[in-house]
Amino acid sequence: MVAIATDRLTKIFDDGTVAVDDVTIDVRSGEFMVLLGPTGCGKSTVLRLVAGLERPTSGQVRFDGRPVDDIEAGDRGIALVRQDHALYPHLTVAQNIGFPLRSGGDPGPEATGRITEMAEQLGIVDVLHRLPGNLSGGQRQRVAIARALARRPAAFLLDEPLSHLDAGMRADLRADLTALARRNGTTTIYVTHDQVEAMSMADRVAVLRRGVLQQIGPPAQVYGDPATVFVAAFLGSPRANLFQCAVYAGDGRVVLDLGTQVIDFPPDEPRSALLAGRHTERATVALRADALRPAPADADGPVLHGVVRAVENLGHEVLVHLETGGVPTSPAESRLELPDSVRPLSGLLAEPERPARGGRWPGLGRLIPRQRAGGRPTARTRYGFYPVYDPELPDDQSTTGDLVVRVPVPATPRIGDRMTVSVDLDLLLLFDRAGDRIRL
């Protein structure tokens, strides 16, 4: 099977849209690579460039190390399946699967054997004689996949092939497709905006945002060790809780100041020393539900307190939304770039309002949510606004000021209850104002 590489691939469309921006990805022979990102991030364009359906503005696509710029799409030996499966309506399932074999000049009996083999692998033997119009959406997509794989392509490209299907069919086909690709050892590039598909199917996942590659790695690594705040926010269900904070070190304490409360770090350890070196820096703290555990109100160690605002019962567990007074920034408002916000905080601290050294916690309580005319709370600090959230995340994926915590069903609290959660500092993720990870 072929190894596919994109080398500094860039695609700028005639209208000036930069769809793919300097993307370098190596897909190993036989690997299942998932391109993941929100709509419009350039996933399909990368796929179309690999397939030869678009020409790059700059950069190269290579198969087994050889540039394929001069090879037409039809001669690249790859199969492409999209969500709109485009079967021939007047041909039976068997004829559809066999179609590429016929045009490829395969002898009859061999083609018939291959059709049966593919139908068996995709669980559609029973419908071989039917016309596509008499199939379910899931069956049609299975036929499209069987047809694409029938002529043993060197690589298999799939563009959101499951997005039209209902949840049950999607889950079935997801598992079958992964097993099929692995069994045949086909190099596969699979495009999706669905993180569950990415996490469950990929050998490695490449996360794209606005045409730029954010991170590439095995799913568990990208989830657990995200390189950017965008990746942290995009992967995971429930979504990571993102809060603005300021690093504060003084009086023998190292804290992340969330405005109305703080996350304490034990003072005598290496990561606290690292953090202390960032004293007064503004950052984003990402807390996944995995990092939070209900705790007694007087628990030792780093904790956050809140009031239960909503309870989502998922059957096996409960997601509790806690109002903690933390400061989110809406995606729309994160576009704000006030002139102040590009000035280093140290400079601002040098100004007359600078708090006295060694005094009480001047940083605490400075991050106060303030209601603006538009009604949305925004970060209001003495240091100005704070555009740390990602405008690319659609509204339903953006965070509110809530902290979402998993709670076992028997311990379900009521709305209005006060709750304390302990914070696992090993799982706490911190990002600088550019959205890049601060590794502690």
Q: Which residues bind ligand ATP (CB under 6 A)?
A: 13, 15, 17, 19, 37, 39-45, 193
Structure tokens at 419: 């709750």
Shortest distance (Å) from residue 396 CB to ligand ATP: 16
What distance in Å separates the CA atoms of residue 220 and residue 198, rounded to the nearest whole number? 11
Calculate the dihedral angle through the C-alpha atoms of 189, 193, 197, 202, rounding to the nearest 10 degrees. Answer: 40
Nearest to 20 by CA among 28, 12, 31: 12
Q: Which is nearer to ligand ATP, 83 or 92 (CB)?
A: 83
Contact of 159 with 85, CB cutoff 8 Å: no
Structure tokens at 327: 């400061």
Burial of 74 (0-12, 13-18, 19+ CB in 10 A): exposed
Shortest distance (Å) from residue 352 CB to ligand ATP: 46
Structure tokens at 158: 């799939």
Shortest distance (Å) from residue 239 CB to ligand ATP: 19
What distance in Å separates the CA atoms of residue 234 and residue 413, rounded to the nearest whole number? 28
What distance in Å separates the CA atoms of residue 360 and residue 267, rounded to the nearest whole number? 17
Shortest distance (Å) from residue 276 CB to ligand ATP: 41
Q: Which is nearer to ligand ATP, 211 or 217 (CB)?
A: 211
Shortest distance (Å) from residue 210 CB to ligand ATP: 8
Q: Which is nearer to ligand ATP, 57 or 330 (CB)?
A: 57
Q: Which is nearer to ligand ATP, 159 or 402 (CB)?
A: 159
Q: What backbone phi and psi angles, to 5 degrees, belong to 280?
A: 80, -5
Q: Which is nearer to ligand ATP, 43 or 278 (CB)?
A: 43
Shortest distance (Å) from residue 436 CB to ligand ATP: 22
Which of the 8 DSSP states describes residue 320?
Answer: E
Shortest distance (Å) from residue 217 CB to ligand ATP: 19
Shortest distance (Å) from residue 202 CB to ligand ATP: 16
Nearest to 180 by CA among 210, 150, 160, 209: 150
Q: Which is nearer to ligand ATP, 193 or 271 (CB)?
A: 193
Burial of 201 (0-12, 13-18, 19+ CB in 10 A): buried
Identity of the residue numbered 170 = R
Q: Which is nearer to ligand ATP, 82 or 406 (CB)?
A: 82
Q: Which is nearer to ligand ATP, 38 or 302 (CB)?
A: 38
Q: Which is nearer to ligand ATP, 55 or 335 (CB)?
A: 55
Shortest distance (Å) from residue 41 CB to ligand ATP: 4
332: number of CA atoms within 13 Å, CB side? 6
Using a CB cutoff of 8 Å and minimum separation of 24, what contacts does 10-14 make? 10/56, 10/57, 10/58, 10/59, 11/42, 11/45, 11/49, 11/54, 11/56, 11/57, 11/211, 12/57
Shortest distance (Å) from residue 46 CB to ligand ATP: 7
Roughly what angle, to the nearest 10 degrees, separates helices 93-103 and 108-121? 130
Shortest distance (Å) from residue 19 CB to ligand ATP: 3
What distance in Å separates the CA atoms of residue 210 and residue 46, rounded to the nearest whole number? 12
Q: Which is nearer to ligand ATP, 13 or 88 (CB)?
A: 13
DSSP codes of every residue in 370-394: EE-TTS-EE--BTTB----S-TTS-
DSSP codes of every residue in 178-213: HHHHHHHT-EEEEEES-HHHHHHH-SEEEEEETTEE
Q: Which is nearer to ligand ATP, 47 or 428 (CB)?
A: 47
